[in-house]
Every structure is written in structure tokens, then in C-alpha cells.
Amino acid sequence: MSPRTSSKTREAILSAASRLIQNKGITQLTLEAVADKANVSKGG
């Protein structure tokens, strides 16, 4: 993954996590929800 792509992916993940926390609260934050909202795979 190029630095430009990884930077955009990182930003998408952080933005998605932030939106989910604001909308649903920290206790509802899951890896699956963040990955879905950021349009990335969980990996693994």
C-alpha cells in the first residue's frame, strides 16, 4: 500500500470511528462498524 493510500485509509477509519462515537456512543463502537462505515475490510 502506498503512503498516499494508507494515509487516506487511516483518515477514513478515524473519521468513521469519530462519527460512530458521536452518533451511537463509545460503548457501541466495534471494529466491524468502523470498517463498514469507512468502506475498508477488517483484514485478517
d(CA 13, CA 42): 11
Give 1-44 pLDDT, tens digit per residue.
Answer: 566 689 999 999 999 999 999 999 999 999 999 999 999 998 86
- What's the pLDDT score for residue 43? 82
Q: Where are the domains of the chain?
A: 10-38
Per-residue DSSP letter, 33:
H
Residue 34: count other Cβ atoms within 10 Å of its Cβ: 21
DSSP labels for 2-31? -HHHHHHHHHHHHHHHHHHHHHH-GGG--H
Write out the three cell numbers for 20.
460512530
